[in-house]
């Protein structure tokens, strides 16, 4: 075998040995077990904290409001749609007596006009399902400028919840 080929073979085998050593040292644990990624990243992703719960955990204490809500137009809405993420509240609020709940556990109480018009503002994209006989929109929509604009003197708009109960609109 010519001399230069021998040298090349030695050089390549050195490179290969170095590569294998480095690969062994630098490759993270569990890499390649399930594919070209760290298999442990899957349980790590599954361990992230939750913030939203399910409506059934609200019903344990607030069953009355739930049954009130289930009679009205909002029966398909989950509590957390309006009140925000409630896992923390559902887990810890039971320990406190009525009225002693710390602010960190209180849920958002929507009552302003902006909370309602987020769904109920008139919008061309919102008129969706037209039933066969009656021309009905899927949800009730209002023009917040014209719909009960409020006292002309104080320019203060009425709140939606002054007339409509949010749980049974």
Partner 1 sequence: MKKEKTKLSRRDFFSAGTALAGGVAITSVLAGYDGLLFAAVTPNAKGIWYGIGIDINKCIGCGKCANACKLENNVPQAPFYFRSWVEQYTIKNDGSIVVESPNGGIDGFKQSVPDKDIFKSFFVPKMCNHCAKSPCTQVCPVGATFETEEGIVLVDEKYCIGCRYCVQACPYGCRYIHPDKGTVDKCTLCFHRLKKGLKPACFEICPTKARIFGDLNDPGSEINYFLKNHNCMVIKPNLNTGSKLFYNALNPEVR
Residues that bind partner 1 in the complex, under the rule CB under 8 A: 28, 31-32, 34-38, 41-42, 44-52, 54, 76-78, 80-81, 84-85, 114, 117-119, 121-126, 128-129, 138-139
As measured in angstroms, the least distance from the Cβ of 89 to partner 1 is 13
Closest CA to 65 of 139, 159, 165, 140: 165
User: Burial letters for 18-41: b for 16+ Cβ neighbours within 10 Å, e otherwise?
Assistant: eeeeeeeeeeeeeeeeeeeebeee
As measured in angstroms, the least distance from the Cβ of 158 to partner 1 is 19
Strand partners, 31: 38
As measured in angstroms, the least distance from the Cβ of 152 to partner 1 is 24
Contact 102, 93 (CB under 8 A): no
Q: Considering beta carbons, is residue 24 or 98 the nearer one to partner 1?
A: 24
Q: Considering beta carbons, is residue 100 or 145 the nearer one to partner 1?
A: 145
Q: Considering beta carbons, is residue 72 or 84 the nearer one to partner 1?
A: 84
Q: What is the C-alpha separation between 138 and 121, in angstroms, rounded?
A: 13
Q: Considering beta carbons, is residue 10 or 54 the nearer one to partner 1?
A: 54
């Amino acid at each position: 075998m010519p001399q230069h080929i021998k040298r090349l073979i030695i050089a390549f085998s050195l490179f290969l040995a170095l590569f294998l050593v480095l690969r062994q040292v630098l490759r993270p644990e569990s890499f390649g077990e399930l594919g070209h990624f760290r298999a442990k990243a899957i349980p790590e992703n599954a361990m992230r904290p939750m913030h939203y719960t399910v409506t059934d955990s609200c019903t344990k204490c607030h069953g009355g409001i739930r049954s009130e809500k289930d009679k009205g137009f909002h029966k398909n809405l989950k509590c957390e749609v309006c009140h925000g993420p409630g896992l923390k509240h559902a887990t810890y609020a039971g320990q406190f007596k009525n009225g002693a709940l710390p602010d960190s556990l209180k849920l958002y109480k929507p009552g302003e006009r902006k909370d309602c018009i987020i769904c109920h503002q008139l919008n061309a994209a919102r008129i969706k399902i037209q039933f066969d006989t009656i021309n009905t929109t899927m949800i009730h929509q209002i023009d917040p400028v014209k719909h009960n604009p409020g006292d002309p003197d104080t320019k203060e708009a009425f709140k939606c919840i002054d007339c409509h109960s949010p749980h049974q609109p």
